[in-house]
């Protein structure tokens, strides 16, 4: 009895199938048809969009590859130009250094000539100043000697001349003045 009751309950339960692995036949038909419709719709409508997306992605990747190849070619060309310019820079640098050496030599030579002329001018000026100073000191010395001589002469004459010598000098002066007439 219990077995019959369980059997009855099992036949009325919709979750219970005729086989433990396979679903009911109607479910297989309806599920299969709906799967075919969904897959067919995806293939018909989503397939072209997926194909377009894949083609777009392929085109984008190809463009990136082409751009990279162009960039490589451009950079290689620029590298060659830079290396050539570097050679030009080295020759320009050598030319500028040679020109600077030439200018430095010219400036040095000109400076030496100018300094030699200035030294000669300064030596001539110093010689003239020395001669002028010698002349002034010589004149000052003569004036000083003349002053001292004029001061010392009466004193010396006074000390060396006695009365008899004075009288002789006066007589000799008078006779020379009288003879000169």
Greater model confidence, 84 or 50: 50
CB 11 within 8 A of CB 5: no
Report d(CA 170, CA 161) in Å as an integer. Answer: 12
Q: What is the DSSP letter of 167?
A: H
Could you tell me the pTM of the whole model?
A: 0.35
Q: Which pLDDT score is estimated for 75?
A: 92
Q: Which pLDDT score is estimated for 181?
A: 54
């Amino acid at each position: 009895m219990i077995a019959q009751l369980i059997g009855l309950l099992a036949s009325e339960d919709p979750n219970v199938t005729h086989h433990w692995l396979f679903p009911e036949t109607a479910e297989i038909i309806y599920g299969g048809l709906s799967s075919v419709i969904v897959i067919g719709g995806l293939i018909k409508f989503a397939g072209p969009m997926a194909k377009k997306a894949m083609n777009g992605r392929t085109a984008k990747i190809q463009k990136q590859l082409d751009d990279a190849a162009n960039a490589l070619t451009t950079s290689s060309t620029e590298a060659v130009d830079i290396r050539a310019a570097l050679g030009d820079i080295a020759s320009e640098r050598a030319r500028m250094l040679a020109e600077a050496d030439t200018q430095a030599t010219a400036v040095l030579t000109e400076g030496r000539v100018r300094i030699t002329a200035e030294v000669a001018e300064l030596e001539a000026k110093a010689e003239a100043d020395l001669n002028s100073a010698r002349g002034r000191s010589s004149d000052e010395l003569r004036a000083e000697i003349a002053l001292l001589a004029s001061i010392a002469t009466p004193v010396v004459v006074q000390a060396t001349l006695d009365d008899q010598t004075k009288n002789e000098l006066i007589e000799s002066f008078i006779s020379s003045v009288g003879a000169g007439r």
